[in-house]
Amino acid sequence: MDTQKFFIDDAAEIISPVNDTPYKRIIAVGDVHGKFGKLMSLWSKLNVNDRDLLIFVGDYVDRGEGVAETLQWVLEMRRRKNFVFLRGNHEQMLLNAFSGDERDFTDKFFGGNVESLSREDIFRHGETAAWILYNGGNKTIGALQKLRRVNNSVVDDVLNFARSLPLSHMLTIGGRQYFFCHAGVDSTLPLDSQPEEFLLWAREKFYNRYDGDAVIIGGHSPLQLLFDFGDEPLRPMKFPDKNILMIDTGSFIAQGKISAVDILSGQYWQSDPEVAGEIMFVCEWNTCRSAMAKFIMRHLLKRVGLDERVYVDSAGCNTSGGEMLGKRTAQVLQANGIDIDAHISQAFTSEHYKNFKCIIALDTNTLQRLKQQTGGDPDNKIIMLKDAAGNILSVDDPGPTGNHAEVFAQIYGGCKALLTELGA
């Protein structure tokens, strides 16, 4: 049976001895963050029926590679009467980015017109830029671009859905209050008068100060970043000596999971470990060559129907990240019919080495850097592209020479050869 009890001695304190609701189970579901594969893994274990009430605590978008599929699933499931979807801070950031004066700024990313953005634009629209560049908003913009190709109204549908999401949900079970929200509450105010700031964003002020009798169930803060689980399994936690149940187990973090808890029994379910990413392209800055390779490889995989099965990403070995796709790179990709979405550079990390099966260095200097960073490539994951004849390709940075078309041709040929090697 895919269920477990809390490994917290006083977890029984939050379980009502009396179930006077019409439901057999009341299941709270933690942050999803576009990890659709994990969501489906969890869903397969829940065996939901009409006697269950499901309450999702928000953050369906951003960070994960499956935001488009997650949004489609959520938009369909919201029709069910026994499903409650709450708003998370990431849905709020999405709404903020597409409202008022921010909309023009966001539309430049959404329309792929990022080369027209100046540093002054980014500074002036700091919160929206931070959402896109650092909080995973680029994944959501990419998902909306993808969905818009088959449904022109999808952006309005998603925004209307996000606006409709309540900030909290309260139940009384056996005479006790259970309050569901994304983040937390202000202990100085009644539960029916909570400010948006706390419901969406609260962390320490909530954990440290709340001492009420009502049970607060929320997500927002990945538990593996708050506690050292040691040899214990990562799982939802009741805070010691407090009526706080936190269920965010960091879906987007390596080894993280999506968790669901039945508050009537204390049982919980979790997604299975995610299949590792298949291919990671790496160059120095992740604004040109490795990004180009990522988009080319995704294009080729889509042509043979493997784009949903093989996850491809890119990174840089000499960058702190946060930079947009180079203008010339975007132009040469689009000129060759390669779809691009919102790309933000990222630094290659030990987590990438752990989670990707194949790491491709695009030049010999990057190869050496990667081997140094990984302690000599102990798992033998790092390779270089080869052309159709099997010759190793060391692709030079086109920045100094401007030969982006030549670099595109090299990488395209290398990716085609790699696809053949994969048997596709």
28: CATH: 3.60.21.10
Half-sphere exposure (Cβ direction) of 238: Cα atoms closer than 13 Å = 23
- pLDDT > 70: percent of the chain: 92
User: Which amino acid type is present at position 293?
Assistant: A
- Token pair of 201 as six digits: 């964003």
Which residue did the predictor score with more confidence, 247 or 7? 247
**Same domain (yes/no): 26, 73:** yes
Task: Give the containing element (helix H, strand E) for 170.
Answer: strand 168-173
Average pLDDT over residues 387-409: 94
Average pLDDT over residues 322-347: 86
Any domain includes 28: yes
Of 8-17, 98-107, 148-157, least confident by mean pLDDT is 8-17
Any domain includes 359: yes
- Token pair of 128 as six digits: 């929206």
Any domain includes 16: yes
**Same domain (yes/no): 214, 263:** yes
Sign of CA dihedral 296, 302, 306, 311: positive
Instruction: For residue 274, name the pLDDT band (cuts at 50, 70, 90).
Output: low
- What is the pLDDT, as a whole number, of residue 355? 80
* Cα separation, 65 vs 155, whole angstroms: 18
Q: Are 97 and 165 in contact (CB under 8 A)?
A: no
- pLDDT > 90: percent of the chain: 62
**Same domain (yes/no): 334, 398:** yes
- Token pair of 39 as six digits: 């969501």
- Residue 101 confidence (pLDDT) above 60: yes
Per-chain mean pLDDT for the chain: 89
Instruction: For residue 324, name the pLDDT band (cuts at 50, 70, 90).
Output: confident
Q: Which of 270, 286, 302 is the last residue of a domain?
A: 270
- Angstrom distances, CA of residue 361 to CA of 132, 313, 316, 395, 422: 27, 13, 10, 9, 17
- What is the pLDDT, as a whole number, of residue 118? 64
- What is the pLDDT, as a whole number, of residue 1? 31
The string of pLDDT tens digits covering residues 105-147 is 787 766 655 545 566 766 678 788 888 777 888 889 888 988 8
**Same domain (yes/no): 241, 336:** no
The string of pLDDT tens digits covering residues 166-176 is 999 999 999 99
The string of pLDDT tens digits covering residues 32-72 is 999 998 999 999 999 999 999 999 999 999 998 889 999 99
**Same domain (yes/no): 363, 398:** yes
- What is the pLDDT, as a whole number, of residue 3? 47
- Residue 8 confidence (pLDDT) above 90: no
In DSSP terms, 347 is beta-bridged to 316
Any domain includes 222: yes
**Same domain (yes/no): 243, 330:** no
Instruction: For residue 9, name the pLDDT band (cuts at 50, 70, 90).
Output: very low
* Cα separation, 342 vs 131, whole angstroms: 12
Which residue did the predictor score with more confidence, 210 or 239? 210
- Residue 94 confidence (pLDDT) above 70: yes
- Residue 273 confidence (pLDDT) above 50: yes
What's the number of domains the chain is made of?
2
Find the domain containing 257 and state its range: 11-88+165-270
**Same domain (yes/no): 184, 302:** no
- Residue 245's closest CA among 214, 270, 224, 272? 214
- Residue 362 confidence (pLDDT) above 80: yes
**Same domain (yes/no): 382, 406:** yes
- What is the pLDDT, as a whole number, of residue 119? 64
Contacts of residue 197, defined as CB under 8 A and 6 or more positions apart, other chains included, come to none
- What is the pLDDT, as a whole number, of residue 307? 75
- What is the pLDDT, as a whole number, of residue 5? 46
The string of pLDDT tens digits covering residues 19-35 is 999 999 999 999 999 99
Average pLDDT over residues 183-205: 97
- What is the pLDDT, as a whole number, of residue 96? 94
Any domain includes 98: no
- What is the pLDDT, as a whole number, of residue 117? 59
**Same domain (yes/no): 378, 414:** yes
The string of pLDDT tens digits covering residues 285-320 is 999 999 999 999 999 998 888 876 788 889 999 987
- What is the pLDDT, as a whole number, of residue 305? 82
**Same domain (yes/no): 186, 289:** no
Q: Which of 212, 241, 270 is the last residue of a domain?
A: 270
**Same domain (yes/no): 242, 328:** no
**Same domain (yes/no): 258, 289:** no
